[in-house]
Amino acid sequence: MTGKITIKEIAKHANVGTTTVSRVLNNHPYVSDEKRRRVEQAIAALDYHPSQTARHLRGSPSGLLGFLTDDVATTPYAVDIIRGAQDVAWAHNMVLLVADSGGNARFAEAAVNVFRERAVEGIVYAAMYHRPVDLPPGLEGLPTVLANCFLENRKAPSVVPDEFYGGYQATAAAIAAGHQRVGFINLWEEDPKIAPFPAIHGRLRGYRQALEDHGIAYDETLVRYSIQTPQENYRHTSELMTLNDPPSALFCGNDKVAMNCYSALAALGLAVPEDVAVIGFDNIAHIAGGLLPALTTMQLPHYEMGRWAVQYLMGNRGKDLAPVQVALPCPLVRRESI
């Protein structure tokens, strides 16, 4: 079927013109993000691949991209980074070679060697969670974009979640629903030697800014830091709800915290959202959708980060990559818990 698919069929499937499809295939800049996304999805759905002759005419010496992760490939919800990268790769007639080092430096170096042997045209380096990283040796001279991570010196392009925006939007959603007392069970850095996690500090700044913008004084007694064990999350929720002036809404550092929060509230005889609203972070499908009531949460833009990383590589083929630093929004996924 692959050889029978035409640009006209792709255009029909994506509900765009053939000129738009051609522009996407040739990475033309004058295409809206929405149309580009539809064309990329159509190409993936129809399993379209160009002929090798066409590939060489477009100047693709190998038609390969490398995707190196520290643990993303084994993380259920973060695998969307790979899916986003692969959708764009296919749309540009590229094959994505994925290697998961599991955090092992020797495996990472071996993967880079394989990428070099295969003459990949660029590499996406992705992390399981948003943090600063050190790149494995051997990437010198290879166009590399970081996804969900960044270099401390900012010398390589990176795309990460906008943690501040996520914290702000979560808090603002609770306030918009009428809550003036919003508790925050934040995440916790267990090891002070580890570089600060942007999620912890960015979301807290967003939380505080949302309160300030809505004329609500920051109350540090409403903020807790959890090492994310079920017992800790349960305890923090119980302590917050037994304050003299307890919160009427709880913003949780991730969906796992929110899940334990539900249990603690039930033990106190409190109903969600009638007595207490709950907002999570991550949008882990089997948690957010599996809780009753379903959890309102913030979506980490894994798919979008993967797409952006490969689009940046494709948009700068044959050029030096400018070390741009991009933060993508974490949208609110509204369900029944608020």
Residue by residue, pLDDT tens for the chain (338 residues) are 445 677 788 889 999 987 788 778 766 666 788 888 898 898 888 877 655 444 443 444 678 999 999 876 656 667 899 999 999 999 999 999 999 888 888 899 899 989 988 889 999 999 988 999 999 888 877 899 999 999 999 999 999 999 999 999 999 999 999 999 999 999 986 555 455 689 999 999 999 999 999 999 999 999 999 988 999 999 999 999 999 999 999 999 999 999 999 999 999 999 999 999 999 999 998 999 999 999 999 999 999 999 999 999 999 988 889 999 999 999 999 999 99
Closest CA to 211 of 185, 186, 184, 188: 184
Please check whether the two domains, 2-161+301-328 and 163-299, share a CATH topology: yes
pLDDT of residue 76: 66
Give the architecture (CATH level 2) of 163-299. Answer: 3-Layer(aba) Sandwich (3.40)
Give the architecture (CATH level 2) of 2-161+301-328. Answer: 3-Layer(aba) Sandwich (3.40)
Q: Where are the domains of the chain?
A: 2-161+301-328, 163-299
Output the pTM of the full model.
0.79
